[in-house]
Amino acid sequence: MKQSGNIFLSIATSLCLMTAVVSCGSSDNTAKVADTDATAANMDLEERASRDSAVKHMPVTTVEFDALTHDFGTVKEGEQLKHTYTFKNTGTTPYLISNVHTPCGCTEPVYSKKPVMPGETGTIEVHFNTQGKTGKNTDRPVTIYGNTEKEIVVTFNAEVIKK
């Protein structure tokens, strides 16, 4: 029985090595990308959990946005749109964003992971991929979680026409 277990372990190890060699030699590097994406996702989750914990222990502050909505107007399908929302920490304690949530993968937020000190400004950049989003995209929400009384929602609009 012990010998068959060793044989099984040898076969499994060989298959793993062959898969690694074949994956590394592939032209599209799909295996590498999937592994990198999984590692990045795990790091992001750990980082977000750490910020969530920090925010729960921070005093509440206030922030004021220059504008809560943005209108991209009429754009062609496939365009990559970008807008930066600017805010000021109007409170007396640092403002830390723990998470920025968008309802679908077509919208990606980029924001500072460092606290914004009282009186200073910060930004949240939103990237919107219009591919497959033809029609009116009205009041698309971007929800910002941090050490404010409640979450903050900024929105954007875009009318996407076929190419």
Mean pLDDT of the chain: 81
SS3 content of the chain, % helix, strand, coil (to 5): 30, 40, 30
Q: Tell me, what's the pLDDT at 42?
A: 61
Is residue 140 within 8 Å of 134, Cβ to Cβ?
no
Q: Band the pLDDT of 20: cuts 50, 70, 90.
A: very low
Q: Tell me, what's the pLDDT at 137?
A: 94
Q: Judging by beta carbons within 10 Å of its beta carbon (0-12, 13-18, 19+), is residue 97 exposed, middle or buried? A: buried
Give the residue-averaged pLDDT of 60-67: 98
- Look at residue 15 and give its three-state secondary structure: helix
For the chain, give the number of residues: 163
Q: Band the pLDDT of 163: cuts 50, 70, 90.
A: confident
What pLDDT, in 10s, does the model give residues 86-107?
999 999 999 999 999 998 999 9
Statement: 63-161 belongs to CATH 2.60.40.10: yes
Count of other CB atoms within 10 angstroms of residue 98: 21
**pLDDT tops 90 at residue 28:** no
> What is the widest separation between alpha-carbon atoms in the chain?
72
Is residue 155 within 8 Å of 109, Cβ to Cβ?
no
**pLDDT tops 70 at residue 48:** yes
| Bridge partners of residue 96, in order along the sequence | none
The CA distances from residue 144 to 68, 95, 99, 109, 132, in Å, are 11, 12, 6, 10, 25
Q: Tell me, what's the pLDDT at 5?
A: 43
**pLDDT tops 80 at residue 17:** no
Q: Indicate the pTM of the whole model.
A: 0.72
- Look at residue 117 and give its three-state secondary structure: coil
Q: Band the pLDDT of 38: cuts 50, 70, 90.
A: low
**pLDDT tops 60 at residue 3:** no
Q: Tell me, what's the pLDDT at 77?
A: 97
Is residue 78 within 8 Å of 158, Cβ to Cβ?
no
* CA pair distance 63, 118, nearest whole angstrom: 9
Q: Tell me, what's the pLDDT at 9?
A: 38
Residue, of 57 and 17, whose pLDDT is higher: 57
Domain assignments of the chain as residue spans, ordered by start = 2-56, 63-161
